[in-house]
Amino acid sequence: MNNPLLQEWKTPFGTPPFNLININHFKPAVEESIKSAAEEIKMITDNYELPDFENTIASIDKAGQTLGRITSLLFNLNSAETNKPLQEVAQAVSPLLTRFSNDITLNEKLFKRIKTVFESLETSGLNTEQKILTERKFRNFILGGTALKEDERKRFRAISEELATLSLKFEENVLEETNSFELHLTDKDDLAGLPESLVEMASTEAEIRKKQGWVFTLHFPSYVPFMKYSEKRDLREKMFKAYSSRGFRGNNFDNSQNVLKIANLRLEIARMLGFKTFAEMILGDRMADTPEKVEKFLEELYRASKPAALRDFENIRSFAESQGHKDAIERYDWAYYSEKLKKKLYDIDDEILKPYFSLEKVEAAVLGLASALYGIRFILNNTIPVYHPEVKTFEVYDHDNTFLSILYIDYHLRPGKNGGAWMTSYRDQKNEKGNDVRPLISIVANFTRQSATRPSLLSFNELTTYLHEFGHALHGMLTKCTYESLSGTNVARDFVELPSQFIENFAYEKEWLDTWAIHYITGEKIPDKIISKIKKASTFNEGYACCRQLGFGFLDMAWHSIIKPVNADISGFEAEAVSKTELFPKIEGLNMSTSLGHIFGGGYAAGYYGYKWAEVLDADAFSFFRETGIFNKETAASFRKNILERGGTDKPHDLYVRFRGKEPSIDALLKRSGLK
């Protein structure tokens, strides 16, 4: 087979030749590249020279580059443009990859070489980046089971392979459950309260499905505004229950057993490796490096936010009562009455803001923000192959015209795309013998498409989502490291959200909005009074929002702090874990865990707290920008140099203090959130 995955990519900037690749190429390419990578590892272990950093640690970091290139392509496509055949390939190669990974980390000769380098770190004369890479490789091998006895190794292999398969299946089930639901309406009265833009989108969706009337789905551009604006409580209830029961309906896509298996197998691996819990195992290289530190942090924020959450809840309850609502406030009432109260208090909602946030303007503004802060520029390139016609590609250059990166942006929802938004890469940055290999970065989102009568208009939340993922992208694009596994976003999980959450702050700043936010029909600049309302409304229900997110953090830690296998009903386990953050009556048949891809399908297991941890850092960092000027070149240059360029080449705490000049403080977050 003439397999393009195994050939040199003679494309612009060495980008993936999507136009030449088909699904049948992946499995044989993975199998062949595993063989090649195994040979590279064998050359390291068979080296007769004494182990040192270059012939062992650096060589391991370089090994398997072809395999990494192929698998990043496969799994990125499986998230952004999947189908049944591709999912089958991903399921088929996943155990092969896990098996090969185990072959490496369970290789005693290889570990012996790594250990020799690790034990001589203090006298080796290595720089900080080399020391951190050595420490990371050593830790990866310890967590990879290298110290296990022979009989334990067989079980370790079986568990790790099963975990890889289970996580893939978990995500597939959530996608299937999301895509399979539709709310099909034919009575115009059922559209009461819905904005015209949403009705038009639902009409288009119905046409696509060859149905009369309107179709609403569980994808965010449809689901979120429906829950905010629909006056039909029974329909809100139906939508909410469908969304909140994904993976928990006792059908072929039920994730209940997958959740239990994943949590229990993670515990088993942790115990095999000498840790009390999976959380203890996973947190060892984080800023919050013990479960106790995480729990203390979550509790501190919980105590600060709970009174405000109760205040927010009572405000919504009494407002709903004033609007004629007679029953208890349910979760499917929250968005509806919150939006109404916000409109009353601040005279602002998404329908007022959306006309100023056309996707075309937002794109130019977000890219322009990076230019203003860091002097980089973006050039659209339509000749670079893409995996879907909607994907846009940009060449990215520094202020001195040095090439930095290729940026892919994939904006709109499709049936083959996972929900939410994310940043990923097709190639990470590295420096090989003075040759700076630049990264290929991608942003994937699920924004509303343009319609027959209006362009794609973003909600305020979609604007901040764009900024968030672009912040990750900057972290990936601006990196200047030597070793691939330390570059870009390859940092501690509770540090990785700092660049993304930091840049969200600009969405609330008049100084930035003034430069681009223009009404798509009238051409009128966004009025100062609207910007002022955005700012004032930023703390609306923030106590509740903080408490709600802490609930996810507590749930994550509960699943990964178990000390014995859980075989109980997962609803009861979940209810106990989030009980102190829960403000609504319990509804049977719903479950968060079965669709919480971050911790059961992605890489945030025992790490969901990191979003709030990074909020402390981002609020503190942006307060520094406010002190010096939000477009201050020196402050931006320091943030770039000490945070965005450095990847994981130093301890996150040290990088942050180097930028900020002092320890981070929680005060800025409490103040920004209206909790202090």
Residue 411 dihedral angles phi and psi, to the nearest 5°: -85, -40
- Determine the Cα–Cα distance for residues 278 and 599; give it in Å rounded to an integer: 12
Structure tokens that stand for 374 in this block = 């860091």
Query: What stretches of 183-290 show up as alpha helix (H) in DSSP?
Result: 196-208, 220-229, 233-244, 256-272, 278-282
Residue 599 and residue 263 in contact, taking contact as beta carbons nearer than 8 Å: no
Residue 171 and residue 256 in contact, taking contact as beta carbons nearer than 8 Å: no
3-class DSSP assignment, residue 494: coil
Burial (CB count within 10 angstroms: exposed 0-12, middle 13-18, buried 19+), residue 22? exposed
Residue 486 and residue 439 in contact, taking contact as beta carbons nearer than 8 Å: no
Nearest to 481 by CA among 429, 416, 558, 445: 429
Q: What is the CA radius of gyration of the chain?
A: 25
Residue 442 dihedral angles phi and psi, to the nearest 5°: -135, 140
Structure tokens that stand for 304 in this block = 């600060």
Residue 342 and residue 540 in contact, taking contact as beta carbons nearer than 8 Å: yes
- Determine the Cα–Cα distance for residues 268 and 286; give it in Å rounded to an integer: 21
- Determine the Cα–Cα distance for residues 552 and 558; give it in Å rounded to an integer: 10
Consecutive H or E run containing 425: strand 422-427
> End-to-end CA distance of the chain, in Å?
64
- Determine the Cα–Cα distance for residues 240 and 216; give it in Å rounded to an integer: 12
Residue 4 and residue 66 in contact, taking contact as beta carbons nearer than 8 Å: no
Structure tokens that stand for 277 in this block = 């819990």
Consecutive H or E run containing 407: strand 403-412
Q: Return the axis-axis angle of helices 196-208 and 220-229, rounded to nearest 10°.
A: 140
The catalytic position among 469, 504, 574, 615 is 469
CA atoms within 13 A on the CB side of 341: 20
Residue 198 and residue 219 in contact, taking contact as beta carbons nearer than 8 Å: no
Tell me the one-letter amino acid at 625.
Answer: F
Q: Tell me the CA distances in angstroms from 398 to 14, 274, 477, 610, one per residue in order.
A: 19, 47, 10, 30
How many other C-beta atoms can be found within 10 angstroms of the C-beta atom of residue 373? 22
615 is catalytic: no
CA atoms within 13 A on the CB side of 650: 16
Nearest to 396 by CA among 432, 370, 428, 364: 370
The DSSP call for residue 330 is P
Q: Report helix, strand and coil shares of the chain as percent, to nearest 5.
A: 60, 5, 30
Q: Is the dihedral of CA 155, 156, 158, 162 positive or negative?
A: positive
Residue 126 and residue 59 in contact, taking contact as beta carbons nearer than 8 Å: no
Active-site residue set: 469
